[in-house]
Amino acid sequence: MKQCTTIDSVRQARASYGKVGFVPTMGFLHEGHLSLVRRARAENDAVIVSIFVNPIQFGPNEDFESYPRDRERDLAMLAKEGVDLVFTPEASEFYPPDFATEIVVKGVANRLEGASRPGHFSGVATVVTKLFNIVQPQRAYFGQKDAQQCAVIRRFVEDLNIPVAITIVPTGREEDGLASSSRNVRLSAKERALAPGLYKALLGTRILFQSGERDRVILEARLKELLRQNDIPQPDYAVIVDPRTFEAVNPVTDNALALLAVPFSTVRLIDNLPLGME
């Protein structure tokens, strides 16, 4: 497995590959990330993974400094998966002092997670656009866990005619149902014990949907009630939305998502579940 830290060296190595599948990450890898890597491995001639804790997608009071990092462990995990190249950019080259461009997505990027974290999706759209231009993959893989991020990426890839096929991979979960996340290690023992309640609340809401309920207000009330019953802190949002626009849907359609964000003391967790999925 090759490791590149400069943009030129990635471009040079990439020139010798055929069809490239690309998995952008912020590292501190877990099984969720590896499911993206395995899918990319199965569908492409070569697999490129980037590890970059992207400073411009963190707000001033967010956890950029404390975001967990373990480069050696990440590299060992990726080597085992048969990854061809890992790109670990230096922030100083990626964002030189005179860097002045930002990709701003409107509509879907302004709602929910975008409203809670101003500037977050612009930071994501900008880094992903740069990475696509550097890596020039045929396909790129993203996780359903970050459902609104997926919708934002699909939006600007389509709007800007970026020639990369986007594949969304289902959410990987721990045995107790908690969505795998690099941030889970920062939960206290008590919070970690409560956190599977997010998934339980999503599953319970889906059961009500499957029983025939299509009224958004009733489904959202159920979601919030189940969060309370599971002793989950007050959510930033707990809603039923359209998976492309992230606007409220009523009546609730088969492709709708139950979606939530919950601030625990030091970590903000997000999760979602497509209601029509078996």
H-helix segments, 19-102: 31-43, 71-80, 91-94
185 within 8 A of 67, measured Cβ to Cβ: no
User: Which residue lies nearer to ligand AMP by CB, 86 or 219?
Assistant: 86
Report the distance separating Cα 83 and Cα 74, nearest Å: 11
User: Which residue lies nearer to ligand AMP by CB, 158 or 215?
Assistant: 158
Report the distance separating Cα 21 and Cα 136, nearest Å: 9
User: Which residue lies nearer to ligand AMP by CB, 168 or 232?
Assistant: 168
Contacts with ligand AMP, 8-27, as mask; x by CB under 6 A: -----------------xx-
Report the distance separating Cα 88 and Cα 84, nearest Å: 13
Catalytic residue among 23, 27, 33, 48: 33
Residue 163: exposure state from Cβ atoms within 10 A (0-12, 13-18, ≥19): exposed
Among 181, 184, 205, 272, binds ligand AMP (CB under 6 A): 181
Sign of torsion, CA 225 230 232 237? negative
33 assigned to active site: yes
Residue 32 interacts with ligand AMP (CB under 6 A)?
A: yes
User: Which residue lies nearer to ligand AMP by CB, 36 or 252?
Assistant: 36
Among 17, 21, 33, 196, binds ligand AMP (CB under 6 A): 33
Cis status, amide bond into 274, omega within 30 of 0? no
Residue 38: exposure state from Cβ atoms within 10 A (0-12, 13-18, ≥19): middle
Among 44, 182, 184, 272, binds ligand AMP (CB under 6 A): 182
Q: In the complex, what is the shortest distance from the CB of residue 224 to ligand AMP, in angstroms, rounded to a whole number?
A: 23
Interacting positions 107-166 with ligand AMP (CB under 6 A): 142-143, 145-146
User: Which residue's Cβ lies closest to ligand AMP?
Assistant: 143
Task: Give the interface with ligand AMP as residue ranges (CB under 6 A).
Answer: 25-26, 32-33, 35-36, 142-143, 145-146, 169, 171-172, 179-182
